[in-house]
Structure 1
Amino acid sequence: MNTILKPLAAFAMLLGCMHASAAEKITIMVGGIEKQIYLPAKLAEQLGYLKETGLDVELLSEPAGVNAETEMLSGAAQGVIGFYDHTIDLQARGKMVESVVQFSQAPGEVILVSKAAAKEVRSPADFKGRTLGVTGLGSSTNFLTLYLAAKAGIKNTEFTTLPVGAGASFIAAMGQGKIDAGMTTEPTISRLLSTGAATVLVDLRTVKETEAALGGTYPAACLYMPTAWVNTHKEQVQKLATAFVKTLRFIRTHSAKEIAEKMPAEYSAVNRQQYIDALEASKMMFTADGVMPENGPPTVLKVLNGFDKAVQGKSINLANTFSTEFVKAVK
């Protein structure tokens, strides 16, 4: 009897382990995993920090943050690595989500103007009648573009925003004259600047430049998750926070070259040195510890209030849009 029961017990134990593993799987959507603004996501995986959590963490990529947000809201993912501004916009729409690890304190984005339009488009005040490229409608690039236009006195009905993604699709749209200007990130920025196909119109790659353009620190890339899920999965959230804080510390204490060496080769295949130089110039946009900058949320709310009808007139509780509980618990 024992010889029969032992294999059965072992099989039952195996099924139990499989069930436990499946229950712990966490899917995180990234709004363009190859973008340097979201570098901590893939770097955490490459360094083995996500594996160290003991969780089955899967990183999936969507071309725009708004697409990643949709996947999370549908229940297909437990979290998103995207921009913090979505937590405010979603609260205004009755959906409670929060940033649990704040990756950056500046957008890391740039509005580029095409060579063909450079003489006529010299500032956001010249957006009238133009077509501007964004990663997606409802994305953070769209949010920031609308705000910069509104700040310059241009209504969102006076220009067109066209979703063109990033990377090759953004470059093609600009090269083919489909967009006059557009907001994008590294390494797309460096690729266009190096060929002379575009010039910088508005630069949001550093805290100083961001403060000048937006009036304050603008916390951007983060890991945000539904508040209800966070409250019922604190152990898992803590493990994720620990992995990402360790990654942010790695970024702060290593050179751009050392960081690039840890990333997949295809991320910098077009021009490796260009990728390194771009990262070196902007890696200080990343926080050192994942903590939300104290003066950041009010700036983001001010920006959204400048154009977002969903936010305007709403009472937003900023304290519910982020948590420092998990990052501050990391030793």
Structure 2
Amino acid sequence: MKFPLSRKAGQRPNLRLCAFAGSLAVAAGLLVSGSAFAEKLTIIVGGMEKQIYLPAVLTRELGYFKDEGLDIELINTRAGVEAENELLAGAVQGVVGFYDHTIDLQAKGKFITSVVQFSQAPGEVQMVATKYADQIKSPADFKGHTLGVTGLGSSTDFLTRYLAARAGLKPGDFSLLPVGAGNTFIAAMKQDQIQSGMTTEPTIGQLVKTGVAKILVDMRTPGKTLEALGGPYPAASFYVQNAWLDGHKDEAQKLANAFVRTMRFIASHSAAEIAEKMPKDYYVGDKDLYIQGLAEGKAQFTPDGRMPKDGPETVLKVLSAFSKNVQGKQIDLSKTYTTVFVDNSAKTLGN
């Protein structure tokens, strides 16, 4: 049976159509063979080129998905909020995105769970255009300026609003503009569409090297994150819908096994060794700069895929400071993440 899923090179697939066709294919297989077979799993990543989401691609490149007998397709999107929408629509089985979406969605009556926690710090940096560096010396100086985020409702949106609120600003004191990441972010800063903005490696390194921008607030390590946000901030994670998790615990465990092996690899190898395993086009033409950025931010990653102590509480505090969705809502943090699968992986792989 064939399905109209072909697309031009570089064109993003219609995920909802893919999910529908995949379901038909599974049904057809059952009719023919009378038994179930391994289903292809699709995971959408909120920016595969970003170093904060490096574990997703690294797991594939190391062959850990295949070692678990998994057939995984990684799909790229420009922002975590877009990935979240595809998950809720049932077009994909999992997302590599920021943990804070689990809290934001629970406030809206929708439940997703972080299965493996990739990072204990956002890996994000608030940049300021060099020509505005004398005017914007802290988040308190955001007033009257336009700030770049990957997308409205994204984690960069959440964190930017919190930095401003913590500095005593109100929502109307500044403007937010969705500019994506990479080249679109750099262009927005060069063209003065934004005077400051939040982004990740390798964009950070490119901006600094070319003199376009300077670092204003660094959140690439647990220590610097504590200074900026007041506590640990679990960020990049692998999350799924609760309904999917309830019916696919075997697949979830295999995914956890693969990802935990990757977190251990990151913890036990240098930035240069990790970079060697990544696709060459991720270097954006400057391998040394890519390695430098990874070395400076490698501490953001958890060594074992576990949720950092007190991390969920910090994220809830951040969202509660400005989000009308979260304010006044009873959030059950125990339902936003699970350690069951990473604990099982530790037993299988050895502590």
TM-score (norm 1): 0.94
Q: Look up the match of 1:67.
A: 82
- Say whether 1:97 aligns with 2:112: yes
Deviation of the 1:55 alpha carbon: 2.2
Q: What amino acid sits opposite 2:83 in the alignment?
A: A
Q: CA deviation at 1:195?
A: 1.1
In the alignment, the residues of structure 1 paired with residue 60 and residue 268 of structure 2 have an alpha-carbon distance, to the nearest angstrom, of: 18
Farther off after superposition, 45-54 or 84-93: 45-54
Is the aligned partner of 1:237 residue 2:235?
no
Distance 1:114 1:99, change over 3 A: same
Matched, 1:207 2:227: no
The residue that corresponds to 1:9 in the other structure is none
After superposition, the CA RMSD in angstroms is 1.5
The answer (yes or no) to whether the contact 2:30–2:36 under 8 Å persists in 1 is no
Deviation at 1:15, TM superposition (A): 5.1
Question: Which aligned segments of 4 or more residues in structure 1 are displaced greater than 2 angstroms?
Answer: 12-19
Query: Residue 32 of structure 1 corresponds to which residue in structure 2?
Result: 47
In the alignment, the residues of structure 2 paired with residue 274 and residue 152 of structure 1 have an alpha-carbon distance, to the nearest angstrom, of 32
- In the alignment of these two chains, the number of paired residues is 318
Q: Deviations over 1:253-284 (max 9, x none)?
A: 11111110110000004210000011111112
- Give the partner amino acid of 1:126: D
Map 1:101-116 → 2, pairs under 5 A: 101-116=116-131
Asked if the contact 2:267–2:303 (Cα under 8 Å) also holds between the matched residues in 1, the reply is yes
2:317 corresponds in structure 1 to 302
Aligned to 1:77: 92
* Residue 252 (structure 1) aligned with residue 267 (structure 2): yes
Aligned to 1:307, what secondary structure does the other structure show? coil
Report the structure number with the largest CA radius of gyration: 1
Q: Which amino acid aligns with 1:149?
A: A
What letter corresponds to residue 91 of structure 2 in structure 1?
Answer: A
Identity %: 60
- 2:153 aligns with 138
Letter paired with 1:223: F
CA distance in 1: counterparts of 2:61 and 2:146, whole angstroms: 38
Which residue in 1 is equivalent to 2:206? 191
Change in Cα spacing, 1:250 to 1:313, as seen in structure 2 (3 Å) is: same
Equivalents in 2 of 1:43, 1:190: separation in Å?
A: 20
Say which SS state the counterpart of residue 173 (structure 2) adopts. Answer: coil
| Secondary structure, aligned partner of 1:104 | coil
Where do 5+ consecutive residues of structure 2 fail to align? 1-28
- Which residue pairs with 1:50 in the alignment? 65
Look up the equivalent residue of 1:237 and give its one-letter code.
Answer: A
Range with bigger deviation, 269-278 or 175-184: 269-278
Structure 2: which amino acid aligns with 1:244? F
Gaps of 5+ in 1: 1-11
TM-score, normalized by length of structure 2? 0.88
Residue 5 of structure 1 corresponds to which residue in structure 2? none
Q: How far off its partner does 1:104 sit? A: 0.2
Q: Shift of the alpha carbon at 1:17? A: 9.6
